[in-house]
Amino acid sequence: MVTRKFTVFLEPAEESGFIVKCAELPVATQGETKEEALKNIKEAIEGYLEVKAKLLGRKLKGEKAEVVVEAPSALLA
């Protein structure tokens, strides 16, 4: 396993609670409190990554390589 940090954004929901979205992944969820919303997004991200890893493990073949790219600082702020 590898530890990785993700950026999430919390916003108040219209009726009550909070909506939380991950900036780097197509993952969003909600919770009645900030703590619950953060717990839920962590679980949602972990679930997304588990499914993605299984799909990639089945589909990809060949030599694995990593690349480093420069991203606009506005994306990382």
pLDDT tens-digit profile of 49-60? Answer: 999 888 877 766
52: domain CATH number is 3.30.160
Is the residue at 3 inside a domain? no
Q: What's the domain count of the chain?
A: 1
Mean pLDDT taken over the chain:
87
Domain carrying residue 31 = 8-76
Backbone angles phi, psi at 32, to 5 degrees: -75, -30
Prediction pTM value: 0.74
DSSP per-residue string spanning the chain: -------EEEEE-SSSSEEEEESSSS-EEEESSHHHHHHHHHHHHHHHHHHHHHHHHHH--S----------HHHH-
Is the residue at 2 inside a domain? no
Confidence of residue 76 (pLDDT cuts 50, 70, 90): low
